[in-house]
Amino acid sequence: MSTTTRWLVLGFGCAIFGAGADRAERFPVPETVADGARLAVIYRDTRFFEGPTWDPRGKALYFTAFGDDGEQILRCDRSGKVTVWRDKTNGINGTCLSLDGRLLCAQMFAHRVVRFDLRDDGSADPKVLYSDPELNQPNDLCQAPDGAIYFTDPDFARGRPGAVYRLSPDGQAARVITDLKLPNGIITSRDGKTLYVSDSGQKLWRSYPIRQDGTVGEGSTFFEPKTEEPPEPDGITLDERGNLYLAGRSGVWVVTPEGRPLGRIDVPVFCSNVAFGGEDGRTLYVTSRKRVYSLSMKVRGGEPGGEKTP
């Protein structure tokens, strides 16, 4: 299968549009970006990159790579050296840091949710948290403050409506959202009361109230940017103020918890996902087609399992 065909099957077809630097539409730079900051390329090759997660203890960035030769998890250490951390991952795409500092992964081709330890000696002690051959292709995931894991399961191959699942701390999985065309990126609010999901089919972002039992209520459109640019919505992250960083539609949109846009970080190619990290937590990492970027920020990350505010 060619790289282009693989992207189309996995839902990366929008990558072929790119996001040219000469785009006609302009949006303000979000106020959370450091003054004068520019996107810097920290790694590049010919593959498609996804699933960035910062390990605050090990001071390293993990991200996933898709190419003709298969899939890998790469690790970028504090010196900037990038190495293969896991090879032949069977389609690990989205990742996130668990509440206890482990790496949670959505494994598309094996139809599973898996977990790895992030140890200094390189051992990972992989564990399958959930497996179901009837799943389409688990794409992205997040862990709520109560320990439950929510993951998206789109059907990019056949274009049928996908679903969002909740995996309880005791390993029981249940569908909680079924009204999305192609659910993709996902995250909970900092207080665990709201679930945000990107819909690559409708090209917008939805929000759902999370009930006390972990199920979700009726959803509504959280953010639909006023742009004609085609790249579809993908990954999501949060900062310490609760602002959301939404990858897609030709950049990274920064939106307040109330849904008010603060602007867009323009990215010259299709961007797939975002994560905060860095030594002080004030670096935004952006994965994309052929490149991984960093950007200096005024704010720290705010995901439940991520970099904490002192």
The pLDDT tens digits of the residues spanning 107-118 come to 999 999 999 999
> Domain spans of the chain?
3-296
Tell which residue, 79, 104, 78, 75, has the closest CA to residue 92. Answer: 104
Maximum separation of any 2 CA atoms in the chain, in Å: 50
| pTM, to two decimals | 0.91
pLDDT per residue as tens digits for the range 172-209:
999 999 999 999 999 999 999 999 999 999 999 999 99
What is the DSSP code string of 249-275?
SSEEEEE-TTS-EEEEEE-SS-EEEEE
pLDDT above 70 for 23: no
DSSP state of 6: H
pLDDT in tens, 33-87: 999 999 999 999 999 999 999 999 999 999 999 999 999 999 999 999 999 999 9
**Fold assignment, 3-296:** Neuraminidase (2.120.10)
Q: Which helix (H) or strand (E) holds 3?
A: helix 3-10
